[in-house]
């Protein structure tokens, strides 16, 4: 504790205007709290950026049936628009239509594609 007080004393000797504000521990507590809140905001912003939140409105006429990652930011997508399906290549900079599928792929059910999501939905429907 005395070491912390001596370090704060050195800090306030460098900034004498802050030493006049009040108790050094209250200023250190305030600065620590501020840094903590800013860090939490940055972490939450990073998490929200990494999470892929679904669109608020479900679009029934346009949806992704399948996707296959090719690289870090490249993927092949099978997109259904109405009754037609298209094979599309997507990168971080562009989207290219590769071809229209003559025989549409059937979409997998959510339980078969994501077993945990299916179990969670069944559990939530019971309650």
Q: Rounded CA gap, 89 and 83, in Å?
A: 20
Query: Model pTM?
Result: 0.41
Task: Please write the tens of the pLDDT for every residue from 97-108.
Answer: 999 988 888 755
Task: Please write the tens of the pLDDT for every residue from 24-54.
Answer: 678 889 999 999 999 999 999 888 888 866 6
The answer to whether the beta carbons of residues 85 and 78 sit under 8 Å apart is yes
Q: Report residue 17 CA to chain centroid gap.
A: 42
Domain boundaries, the chain: 2-50, 57-104
What rounded mean pLDDT belongs to the chain? 77
Q: How far is the CA of 56 from the CAs of 53, 64, 87, in angstroms?
A: 9, 16, 25
């Amino acid at each position: 504790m005395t070491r912390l007080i001596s370090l704060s004393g050195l800090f306030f000797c460098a900034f004498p205007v802050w030493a006049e504000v009040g108790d050094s521990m209250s200023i250190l507590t305030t600065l620590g709290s501020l840094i903590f809140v800013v860090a939490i905001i940055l972490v939450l912003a990073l998490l929200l950026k990494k999470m892929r939140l679904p669109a608020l409105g479900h679009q029934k006429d346009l949806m992704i049936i399948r996707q296959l990652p090719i690289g870090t930011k490249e993927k092949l997508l099978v997109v259904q628009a109405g009754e037609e399906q298209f094979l599309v290549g997507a990168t971080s900079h562009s989207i290219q239509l590769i071809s229209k599928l003559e025989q549409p792929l059937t979409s997998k059910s959510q339980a078969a594609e994501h077993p945990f999501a299916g179990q969670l939905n069944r559990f939530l429907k019971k309650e």
